[in-house]
Each structure stands twice: as structure tokens, then as C-alpha cells.
Structure 1
Amino acid sequence: MNFISYIISYPFIWLFSRLPMRVLYVISDILYFLIFYVIGYRKKVVASNLKIAFPTKSEEEVTKLSKQFYHHFIDLILESIKSISISKKEISKRYVFKNPEVINDLAKQGKGIMLVGAHQANWEWFLSSPLVLDTTVYATYSQLSNPYFNKILKQTRSKFGTVCIKTTETIKVMHKNFLNNSSGLHLLLSDQSPMVHKTLYWKDFFEVNVPIHTGAEVLAKRFDYAVAYYAVKKIKRGYYEAEFKLITDTPKAYENFEITSIYLAMVEQEIKEQPSYYLWTHKRFKHKDKYEEWLLLKKNKK
């Protein structure tokens, strides 16, 4: 069945990827109408997230943000499909890295780099970063159940030089690179919600106490990696600008979870600047009422 679904659908996906961007955006406008007004994909989740994050906004303002989000969300899906065939020239024009020297200077010093970011604007086109960064770029991914589409995913994300590794192999690869003194850059998007029983840290996010992923900080301290943040702004439709911000090149000097707190504050600020472009379909606040349950689990483990 995996092969059948692949041979039926992939030719259409490939053809879509070959279309000019202006044609894809016409299709995106049509799909927006169907998904927002007819199908209503996760509309309640998006509205709920926006109301929690921006409690002072009116219903009209929340609806406006929701519509803007869905317009962008469909664009993002089609831009991701376009990644299959997009050229170096086109992606370099549409996805600009404002200050790659922040990363390149660290690489020249022989530092391994933990790059953290958010599901904001367009994170899929970060696959073009090897075109401007003077270090090996590693990106984690969750393996797809369909092996044929999983192969296409890896090929697409690695077309400009990114090395894709499964989430479960992250520590193994980092340890091997550390021993070989060839650490490179590891990208982790750590803004979504972890499972409660695996959580080590809770923190206010948009003034709501939620569980937080801490793996980036833990690994940075273990391997003495510099920690940098990358923020992405949508300049206009189909055009983005990514900016690197150094958090620290001495992670072991920070108290536990201090780096994570700095990272989370940067994510929140980035979202506030362009709230329509965050991945609001994810249930980011789904565990907000489980802090007491987590404390009990933690106590029982001792």
C-alpha cells in the first residue's frame, strides 16, 4: 500500500513542484478558501491557541489573525513542495540569511553549534543554509511511515548539503562528531510541546505555564556547543529573511534551564512581531493544566 500511494500521488506532487511560484500562489488562494471555509481544518485549535496567547484581542481580531495564518499556512505547504525542484538561484533570492558570519565565525573557532529556532514563517527553506554556512549542517527529522516518501523527504532536505539525521540518532551522531572534532551545526526546533512524563522543565510561555523541551540546552552543555538562535521574518509573500543571534558560546557557565528560558523568550518575541506566521495548528498549550500531575510524577520517581 505504501508503494501504491507513492506511485499515485508523487507524480502530482512533482508536477506541482515544477509550477512557477505565481501559479502556486493562485492555487494556494483556492486551497485557502476550501480549507478555511469548507473543511475547517483545525480551526478550533488555531482560534483557541490565539485566544490563549493574546487574551486581550477581540473575536474580530482573532478571526483576522486566523485567516492570515491559514493564508500563510497553505503558502508554506506549497513552498515546501516547491523545495523538491527549487534551484539554488531562486531559493537564494527568496530565503536570505542576513548575517551568516555569526555562525561562520564560530565555525572558524572550531566550535560546535547548537542552532535553535521556532516553527515560524518558513523553516523548511532553511535547507539552503549550507549555501552560506562554512560548516556541516545537521537537521533532525521524524521518520515517515511510508519509506518512499521518507526517501523523498531526505533527498529534498539534503539537496543543498544539509545532512538529515533521524531524531533518535541525534545524540549518537553528535557524540561521534565530538570525538572526531568535527562537530558542525545541529538544528533543533524546540518550541512545541513535549510529553508530560518526559518533561524536565516548565516555564511561562505567553503567560501560560507549559512544559518545555530542554534537549538543546542539555546537549549543548554535554558537548560544549555554542548556542545560537535563528529568527525568520516574512518580508512579503514567498520572501523571507533569517537572522542569527548568538545566545552563548560558553553554555556550561549557565544555570540549568537558563539557556532554555532565554530561547523561549526569543521565540515569544519573534511570534509577537509576526503572529500570523506561527504554527498555530499545533496544540502548544494542551498540557497547561497538568503541572500538578507532573509534580506528582516527579515525586513518585524519586
Structure 2
Amino acid sequence: MTGPVTVTTCSNIALIKYWGKRDAERNIPDVGSLSLPLGALQTVTTVDPDGRGRFELDGREMSERERERILALCRRLGVDAAHLDFCTENRFPTAAGLASSASGGAAAVVALIEAFGLQLSRDRIIAETLRVSGSAPRSLIEGFARIDPVGDGVSLRALPVPAAWDLRVLVVCTATGPKKHLSRDAMAQSRTSPYYDAWVASHPSDLDAAEQAIHDMDLASLLATMEHSTLKMHAVPVTSRPAIIYWNAVTWAVIERVRAIREREHIPAGFTMDAGPHVKVFCEARHAERIGDELRQIPGVVDLITTEIGHGPIVQRAGAAPEPWRLPA
């Protein structure tokens, strides 16, 4: 079936971080990653093959660079974009370190596949999504998503979230506006860090430890491994030449408060940060309100979003009910 389609995808947060590229052109990572989708951070993309040539992002006309990235994807997929309408909205801050490129990239690929009725293999879908954003394939599936670099591509596996884990993620926004350094540029510069090779070499053990913690339903171990991974990741751009520092004073204050709450109340709670100043705090649902109330009191916190674990892509056509989209086996 072809025609207009709307796709909703969730952003995702990597517990075990991705940083660095083995192949910049195809966006193949140097290291794997493990993530969860965030239900409150969504991208909604509408594609119409027989439109009027509109390309919009968050209600404004796309820049030439943004438009060209979509057209390049269309050329790789072999679809006719002559009359294409492509309108996408991130229902959370764009390019701010909250993984809008992940949800946006996944939504773009799925929407074009569905609008043009393409029949693509699992590997091809993953590869095209990866070229849009290194974290975007993780938004193609629900539950924990694990990516590993394999040969000249990547593998993508879903790991179910243990039913006993009623998790929440507190997205603590510590600044407004876009981040100062785009991830692609910062990753390239990070190769000047003396710690880059150690980051790559030590990474597989973090992935395996996290997967084992999920299997064992050991939330405390998972969160400890998550914090270890995020601190290692940020140590690489911080020690590149010149240094790239994503955090601000409020980031540090939130980290210290999370550590204090954990030590004081002996509850499982852990922090992680992507390439930006915002902090994501994982905890059990029963502790989310308490922790959130305390974090909101930190001077400089501009917003706090509490989110449940999200879902995979949702597809909706005119006059039809929304349906889950499934990555082919």
C-alpha cells in the first residue's frame, strides 16, 4: 500500500554509550551500544508521495542541509521525491542532546518505506537508518536495543525489559537551546584523545555486563555499569584536542544530588548523559516522584520530564487506526 502515512517513534537513551565511528560515510560505529526508548520524547513524521514539495521541521521550512539529507535518503531508497511532502516534528527540544536524531532518523526511514510501499530486508533497513544517525536503529524496536559492530555493518537485537522492573526515566534539562558541538564533529575530534583506544577496547565488557544484569534482573548492577559507561564516554571528548565539554555546572549538581540520594536512601538510581548537558536519571517508578521533587529544587534546572519506557514505531494512515510497525526478521 502506498500513500500518505504518519509515523511516531520514540527517542532512546543509551545506557551503554556509543561514541566514535569506524566508517564515517556509512556511519558504522567503533563500539556497540545498549538503549531504552523514552515514551515521552517522540518524533511524529508525515510523508506524502503526492504532495506539494514541502519539507518542514518543527513547523518551519527545512534548511538546505536538512532537506538534502532527506533527499539523499530518498535517492538511496530509490523513491521519487519530485512531489514529496516530508513534515517532521520533535515533541521535545531538537539537537539539544536528547537524541532527536535517533527518533527522527527512524521515523524518516519507516515513513518513506510505508509511504512508497517498499519491501526491504532487515539488514537494509538497519543500514539505511544507521546512515541517518548512529543511534537511530535503536528506535526501530521496543525494549532494550543492543547494537554491535559486525564486519562492514552492525547487528541489532532486542532484549525484553524484565516484567518486574517498573522503570522511569527523569529527563533533567539543565540548559535551553541547541548543544554547542554536533555529535558527528565531536566524534571525529575525539580521536585525538589519548584515551580513545582504551574506550574502544574496554567497551565490549560493559555491553556484556549490562546484558547479564538485565538477564539477572539486577537493576543496581545495570545502573552502575551505565554510569561507568557514561563517565568513560565523556572522558574522551574532554581529553580531545581541543577539549569538548558538554556538561555545565547544573549537570554536575544533578550528578552529585543523584549520588547523594542513592547513598542516603539506599535506593537504585543512576545517571547518564548523552552528548549534551542534560541528565537522565533511571529509577523505579515508586521512587520517581520523590527523586524528581528533589532534583527540581536544584538551581538552574529548567525542566524535568518524567517518562515511562517507550515503544517501537507506530504507523497511521488516513482513516485507519494506529498500528505497531515491526522490523522484519
Using the size of structure 2 for normalisation, the TM-score is 0.26
Structure with the largest fraction of strand: 2
